[in-house]
Amino acid sequence: MTLPRTPSFRLDGRRALVAGASSGIGAACAVALAEQGAEVTLCARREPDLQALATEMRAEGWKADVLPLDITDTAATEAALAARPAFDVMVNSAGLARHAPAIDTTAGDFDAVANLNLRAAFFLTRSVAKRLLAEGKPGSLINITSQMAHVGGIDRAVYSATKHAVEGMTKSMAIEWGPKGIRVNTIAPTFIRTALTASTFANPERAAWIASKIKLGRVGEVTDIMGAVAFLASDAAALITGTSLIVDGGWTAD
């Protein structure tokens, strides 16, 4: 018999856009894609952080360039992407959380969280897909959501709502663009140890709640997301679209 061969996880010759790449999960995703051979464009508002990351990546022999951009500015985002070659891979890790009891949430906080987590995610994903469709190219588009896209959480009504919405958006886009070879998925992490989550872990009550929920007995590290993003971006995930890869240590299992 002829033995089957595992499809490649390599991304040589592919262009990848990583939004929210200046720190945390986004920076780790950029490294993961570059390690597999992709030419990575680092996108975020903080240009000095992007330049520092790009310098470190190039020192490893990887391909990285920088695109300073606020993706909530839809017109600027569309113009910036139109000026560059099409991206075969997109990872959107940009996100915002303003946690508060639902009863205390202001309209301003609601709008700020929804504007980045949902509106910007929609139009960024659409912009990348639009270019691929115009050029007749396949692609892998990935939004980083959260385990809170599948459950609820303390003081997280707005955040959870936006992440649930991105999951619905993903399914619809996957159905629409699947016949053209464009895959759309999400990665839904549990609490990941980054600078942005430091205050949560510093709260004993919140830390105890987190520990009680994660069945594997530890919080996540950015490295826990890197394999997932490299997989979904690659041909090894060629039949996966419209779904969520939940990296939560078992949080949502019960």
Positions marked catalytic: 159
CA distance linking residue 239 with residue 243, whole number of Å: 11
Number of Cβ atoms within 10 Å of the Cβ of 125:
23
In which order are the strands placed within the sheet that holds 182-189? 63-68, 39-44, 15-19, 89-92, 139-144, 182-189, 244-247
Q: Which residue has the tokens 């090894």?
A: 236
DSSP for 60-109 reads TT-EEEEEE--TT-HHHHHHHHHTSPPPSEEEE---------GGG--HHH
